[in-house]
Amino acid sequence: MAILNSIISICYYLISAFIVFVLAKSIIKTKNIQDAILYSVMLMPFILRILRLK
Amino acid sequence: MTDRNLMIVKLISLALVVTAMIISGVQFYNHRNFQEEVVKGPGVTQVKKLSDYFEPLKGSINDCNIYILDSGVPGGTAMLIGRSHPEEPAGNLATQIFVENAKLTQGRLIVVISANQSASRVTRPGDAYPLYYTIETPWGDKKFRMGDRWTSPLDSWPDPEVYVHYPSGQLLAYMDIRNFNRTWPGRDNGMITEQTCYAFMNLIREEKVDIFVDLHEAELEYPVISTIVAHQNAADIAGMASMILTSTEFRIGMEYSPKSLHGLSHREVGDHSDAVSILLEAPQPFLDRVRGITDEKLLLTGQDEFVMMAGKYGLLYEKIDEKGWPIDVRVGRHCSTVLSIFELWGDFNPGKEVLITGVPLYSEIVKNGTGYYFLDPSKARPGDIYYE
């Protein structure tokens, strides 16, 4: 079970990195200011998790 | 808006977010890596690691210190643990008082200050807990980490949909697979919290622990409060301690550990080892859901007008007034109760006494303050300082 959880945990980090990539791409592409700010704020928890800070 | 202005807004918002992330990230990093100094007291004869009893924990975040105080005189072996739930600080403060002050004249005492290190290095998301609290001592302020009830998700992830307790098969809430007091007796191939409990069970069996005490605090809205929870094998000691303490020092109840409620130390340690198991609960208004501002002041004074209001409406299981439940009262209750329990253990089991001196009683801690009993690390030899 511990091994399975480790695999899922690694997948979670990969998914977080993918979401960061998608959000960053959305920030660059969007023409809407509110969306840009919203995407920027949304980046925070994912980056903090990838860095294993929170 | 022109493309240039849009780009400026994007850069500014990103800069603000990165700044906020750095500020919060540094705080989270420092909290997770903050080390508390513990001075080896006059009674400590050996300091081991939990991984000495379960190798896979070696080097992990939960490989905590095991302080052994051995009188050298044959007797019983008692064990005391704090920080099962690190958001209940009276437990780790009381255990540190034992490590820094206790002397044994008979038997052995094993003390664990931080049973769940991982949970002591994270606070509860969304509850605005303070990251630290400080205790005044005669030589300055001593800083401690505030923790959470559950092991950090950084160390145990993902949670299951439903936590199936091992070995009972009882269904518990999903996050309780990270709850140190729902994962006893643990399992060797489980998640880190289960492995930690498994290691403690190995310790209890290998060291032939006779009596085990787990220190906790509880919200006033919770019915199990100001009490000694005892496995049926400890009912005589707990009942007698409750009567003696209530008639001499402070009111404390006694209740049986439910036989069908699994995962808790007062049930599983007694069921899966030869040790008698007991859990102590002191009142902590900081944990009440109806509390006001959740800050260090509330944590240390236990004074809260909203909890008092709940008391006026009869919603609490413990009394509270404007004096609150200060940390000295809570730590003092734990120290006196533990001493009383160990003394009674010896009375009930001749030849297996655990005789302790040097640990202050409730009235002394309330009078002098908890910090009065902490040793000054700056005056200790480097080899006598350990880190939690």
**pLDDT tens string B5-64:** 889 989 999 999 999 999 999 999 999 999 999 999 999 999 999 999 999 999 999 999
CA atoms within 13 A on the CB side of A28: 6
Which residues 279-298 in chain B show a CB within 8 A of chain A? none
**Chain B contact for A6 (CB, 8 A cutoff):** no
Which of B102, B121, B118 lies closest to B28 in space, CA to CA? B121
Which CATH number does the domain housing residue B167 bear? 3.40.630
How many domains, chain B?
A: 1
**Spatial distance between the Cα atoms of B68 and B66, rounded to a whole number of angstroms:** 6
**Residue B96's domain spans which residues?**
34-387
Contact list, B24 vs chain A (CB under 8 Å): 44, 48, 53-54
Average pLDDT of chain B is: 96
Nearest chain A residue to B121 by CA distance is: A54
Confidence of residue A3 (pLDDT cuts 50, 70, 90): confident
Looking at the domain assignment, is residue B195 inside a domain? Answer: yes
Looking at the domain assignment, is residue B3 inside a domain? Answer: no
CA atoms within 13 A on the CB side of B263: 21
**Spatial distance between the Cα atoms of B280 and B334, rounded to a whole number of angstroms:** 7
Per-residue confidence (pLDDT) for residue B328, from 0 to 100: 98
Beta carbons of A36 and B6 less than 8 Å apart: yes
Per-residue confidence (pLDDT) for residue B352, from 0 to 100: 97
Confidence of residue B126 (pLDDT cuts 50, 70, 90): confident
Q: What is the DSSP letter of B282?
A: E
**Chain A contact for B174 (CB, 8 A cutoff):** no
**Chain A contact for B243 (CB, 8 A cutoff):** no
**Chain A contact for B24 (CB, 8 A cutoff):** yes
**Spatial distance between the Cα atoms of B227 and A28, rounded to a whole number of angstroms:** 59
Nearest chain B residue to A36 by CA distance is: B10
Closest-CA distance of chain A to residue B6, Å: 7
Looking at the domain assignment, is residue B200 inside a domain? Answer: yes
Contact list, B9 vs chain A (CB under 8 Å): 33, 36-37
Beta carbons of A40 and B158 less than 8 Å apart: no
**Spatial distance between the Cα atoms of A12 and A7, rounded to a whole number of angstroms:** 9
Beta carbons of A5 and B191 less than 8 Å apart: yes
Per-residue confidence (pLDDT) for residue B92, from 0 to 100: 98
Looking at the domain assignment, is residue B41 inside a domain? Answer: yes
Looking at the domain assignment, is residue B338 inside a domain? Answer: yes
Which residues 127-156 in chain B show a CB within 8 A of chain A? 154, 156
**Chain A contact for B10 (CB, 8 A cutoff):** yes
**Chain A contact for B16 (CB, 8 A cutoff):** yes
Check pLDDT > 80 for residue B318. yes
Angle between helices B192-206 and B265-272 (to 10 degrees): 50
Residue B293 structure tokens? 């501002």
**Chain A contact for B61 (CB, 8 A cutoff):** no
Helix (H, G, I), strand (E, B) or coil at B329: helix
How many domains, chain A?
A: 1
Looking at the domain assignment, is residue B16 inside a domain? Answer: no
* CA pseudo-torsion sign B53, B103, B354, B257: negative
**Chain B contact for A4 (CB, 8 A cutoff):** no
Per-residue confidence (pLDDT) for residue B247, from 0 to 100: 97
**Residue A25's domain spans which residues?**
2-50
Looking at the domain assignment, is residue B81 inside a domain? Answer: yes
Q: Which ipTM was obtained for this model?
A: 0.90
Beta carbons of B157 and A52 less than 8 Å apart: no
Check pLDDT > 80 for residue A2. no
Beta carbons of A1 and B10 less than 8 Å apart: no
Looking at the domain assignment, is residue B13 inside a domain? Answer: no
pTM of the predicted protein model:
0.94
Closest-CA distance of chain A to residue B154, Å: 7
**Chain A contact for B23 (CB, 8 A cutoff):** no
